[in-house]
Structure 1
Amino acid sequence: MSGAVRTGWAPSTGPAAPAPARRWRRWLLVATALWAVLLTVLVWVSVRNDPPTVREQRSLDQAGPVVDRAVGELARASGAAGLLELGPARVESGCRVTPFADGATLRREVGVLAPAGTERAVLSAIADHLPASWRAGVGPGLDGPELRADAGEFVAVEGRPTGDGRVRLTVDSGCRPVGSGYVPPPAAAPGPEAAALTAALRALGRPADAPPELVTAPCPGGAVARTARSAAGSGPAGPVDALAPLAGGAPLLDDPPVYAYRAGPVTVLAELTPDAARLAATVGCPA
């Protein structure tokens, strides 16, 4: 065989890594890093500026003022003569925000006068006087008409009859992280509701010396709705007829064991049972 090398053929030097492939991978790594930085910036901006999209993004301390303002809106929408009582805040723990995080729920209630047969009309009138952004409406429920509304920040509002001449409106935060906890509205100085409550207690022969529990809610426009509450204690109270002179013979509600009447700007509500008595006196929001 001849040892001559054929002309026109280059000797083989082995495979070489193509330079374009290395450059492509390098640019891919750079682009991935830039994309990660961009996503981090977008998330940071979103957390700082975007509104929450789910309830779990707002803690209980953040939802508290929304719940309190909603109670004030309901008090105004109910009218001074229709509002019977502002309920205190109830914080219930033990719910689960996620499978790994505990939470709590904040609820407040508002009692409104609704004589038998007027429940739907009362709920509809309240819905009509709520902010348009709440999208309030009244529809059929399991036990009668129901009001439903959205007070914003994932705070739900519901209302339904109680069957004793009243409707109960409920403001519910849903289960949320506790955060720093619910802080009630600042205490307000007692007004005419305290005097009306004292007069009712004395008429029933109950002790009137203990300071009442004062429950408040901010009204739209800056005023404050107030309820003075007294758990008059166990044992029978005087007959409901003892309140008739204070009612001027014209009670708003006389559906035993519930009795309600107006005393000037104050609505007094009494629940009298053979074993206990509970009274509340309320001043609502200005019209």
Structure 2
Amino acid sequence: MATVAWTVLLAGFTWVSARDDPPTVREQRTLSQAGPLVDGAIGELVAASDAGVPALAPPEVDRGCRISPFAEGATLVRAVEVAVPVGEERVLLEQVADRLPARWRAGVRLTPDGPRLRADAGEFVTVAGRVVADGRLRLTVDTGCRPVGDGYPGDATGPDGPEASALAEALGALGSPATDRQAVVSAPCPNGGAARTVRSAAGSASTSPPAALAPLAVGTPVVATPELYAYRRDGVAVLADLEQDPILLSATTGCAG
């Protein structure tokens, strides 16, 4: 009888704890609950990487991972691509780590595959950064596998801003119509406002893309390699991925310091 009573009491404590206590493991926090934290972390990364040319990548939600043998979940990954002068990739990674919130305990270490940034944004959300090519970094925020909940709603894009004009200008320089935007992505900035990226594929240019875009760079571009051309113009960061076919253009307004 005492064993039965203890079992009932323990079950009651467990129910109250599950109802009232904050999550203590990732499996107790849903994707919809983690979404705002991920969005805010992306804004922190954009603000910390403003020495380069950032571009927000579209969010990726991967369903079908398993939380347990009996439950499926999903993983949310958001990323910021950053163009940086060739040879300064590790320097920028270290600058990003230094500028992230102290509670994230961000740091950069050298591995056999190059420098790696690691940080903990809290609530079981991880932050990472690495060099993906000469003059190019990828910073990611990852929830790991967790319950879907109401799903990831995505961030509000808001009305067009100066990034849309800069994208149209770059498309025009490449001889492409300023239509058919491929994606609009945004994230909240730590000090208010939002970072915002618009993307579009560009058709084949009649001249070399760097030569066509050079007049818009107003001086020396931030990056000019056979794979990447990046510059700033009137407060907007423009990145042309020349490895893509067709060329992928991104124009981004970042976060004020």
> What TM-score range do you get, normalising by the shorter chain?
over 0.9
Distance 1:45 1:128 in 2: 41
Pairwise CA distance, 1:260: 0.5
- Which residue of the other structure, out of 61, 65, 68, is the alignment partner of 2:32? 61
Output one character per residue of 1:79-118: Cα deviation in whole Å (capped at 9) or x when no partner.
2x42420111011122111112222111111112332322
> Structure 1 vs Structure 2: percent identity of aligned residues?
57
- Which residue of the other structure, out of 137, 161, 164, is the alignment partner of 1:194? 164
Distance 2:173 2:160 in 1: 20
- For 1:99-110, what aligned pairs fall within 5 Å after superposition? 99-110=69-80
Aligned length: 256
- Which residue of the other structure, out of 62, 68, 74, is the alignment partner of 2:45? 74
Distance 2:96 2:31 in 1: 26
**Are the structure 2 counterparts of residues 62 and 277 from structure 1 closer, same or farther at C-alpha, using a change threshold of 3 Å?**
same
Partner of 1:142: 112
- Which residue of the other structure, out of 43, 49, 68, is the alignment partner of 1:98? 68
- Structure 2, unmatched stretches of 5+, are none
- For 1:1-287, what aligned pairs fall within 5 Å after superposition? 29=1, 31-79=2-50, 81-211=51-181, 213-232=183-202, 235=204, 238-239=207-208, 240-273=210-243, 275-287=245-257
Partner of 1:25: none
Pairwise CA distance, 1:34: 4.5
Pairwise CA distance, 1:267: 0.5
Pairwise CA distance, 1:238: 4.2
Output one character per residue of 1:11-58: Cα deviation in whole Å (capped at 9) or x when no partner.
xxxxxxxxxxxxxxxxxx2x4455334323322332133222221111
- Aligned AA for 1:260? A
Q: CA RMSD in A?
A: 1.8
- Structure 1, unmatched stretches of 5+, are 1-28
TM-score w.r.t. length of structure 2: 0.93
- Aligned AA for 1:59? T
Partner of 1:4: none
- Aligned AA for 2:43? G
**Are the structure 2 counterparts of residues 71 and 103 from structure 1 closer, same or farther at C-alpha, using a change threshold of 3 Å?**
same
Pairwise CA distance, 1:157: 0.7
> In terms of Rg, which structure is larger?
1
Distance 2:98 2:176 in 1: 40
**Which secondary structure does the structure 1 equivalent of 2:122 belong to?**
coil
TM-score w.r.t. length of structure 1: 0.83
Contact preservation (8 Å) 1:205, 1:238? no
